[in-house]
Structure 1
Amino acid sequence: MARAAIGFRDHSGWAVLVAVGGEAGSPQVLLRERVELLDDPELPAQVYHAAASRDLDEAAGLIATVERSARAAARTVVAAAVAQLKEYDVAAVALGLDRAELPEDLAKVLRNHTSLHVGEGELYREALADAAEACGLRAVRYDFRSLAETATPVLGADVRDRIAAWRREIGPPWARDHKDAALAAWLALATL
């Protein structure tokens, strides 16, 4: 059975998913879609921003509610992708990572605008990592800002051209998010 990997380029409340599979030297795009990462559309996708104006206990409760919703939605998304890829041995889920560290003190997070963004990013990436684990998949993380440089020694100097060529094969949309998710999935496929 051919192997596959799923890449995600996450945002607050949603992500672009691209799955690639087949031979690691020349994989194909198997799946491409925009997915929702909250199972309740009434909840604030940018929960740390929404929580910043609340008292600490209320903020913590809201963040916990959104975390539960994101984990449930992510599990549904990953399980559905694996089911769609039933002809493949799905090996991994590839995710981004943030260079900034999130303070452990919620009060400090809520007072710092950069930390609000870091917290939201980590919330959705952790939900996806949890979903990968729940499906028996390995979660690997890459810094998307240096992903092409990380991938080049493994996938070849023409990796960017090969990623761009997929647009001609599969058509639009093939924006930066799609390219990042595809490249992360391809790198995971090649290194596992």
Structure 2
Amino acid sequence: MRVVLAEDSVLFREGLQRLLIEDGHEVTAAVGDADSLAAAVRAELPDLVIADVRMPPRMTDDGARVARELRAEFASLPILLLSQHIETHQVVDLVAAGSFGYLLKDRVLRFTDFLDAARRVADGGSALDPAIVGALMAPVRRNDPLLELSAREREVLALVAEGLSNAAVSARLQMSERTVETHMRSIFQKLRLVDSQDTHRRVLAVLAYLTR
């Protein structure tokens, strides 16, 4: 996997680069600011972008802002954002589009989890820190169909929103994969989501959960 890495902390950037290389990936560019990130992606067309949310020049949400610009330019570009702080106003559209992850930097210290998340995003999936999932949830509206979900169904959907497959949800909740599939069918029915060639019920269910 070819990776463009953007992180303004030199020590953290070098640590991530070494971790990725030791896992067999090629870091084609490692930069420290948002403008260099945009230039590197356009030059390298990587398999995955890993970027800090807060970077120079403004040290606010420059990394997330450039990620949105790059996704508009390269629709299928996999992006994994990292942050010490939860900042969500730039990322809802990215979550909706898939091939996206957003992890708090503490998660990077769990190397196996981080590398698994990076691979999942590069393969077109999602990887959202539970804290990010919580922050993305808006106040519940009246007549919200999510209120119809059982506690267990909400637990399953929360894990799906983090990017876990049915098999991974099964292992996490110690239930059979068939039971997870049953819960997902019930979730689709209660959220009134119909599968078709133009929609993906799993993605729509996650979006309903994140944007409620």
TM score, norm. by length of structure 2:
0.27
Q: Which has the higher strand share?
A: 1
Return the structure number with greater relative CO, CA threshold 8 A, min gap 6: 1
TM score, norm. by length of structure 1:
0.29
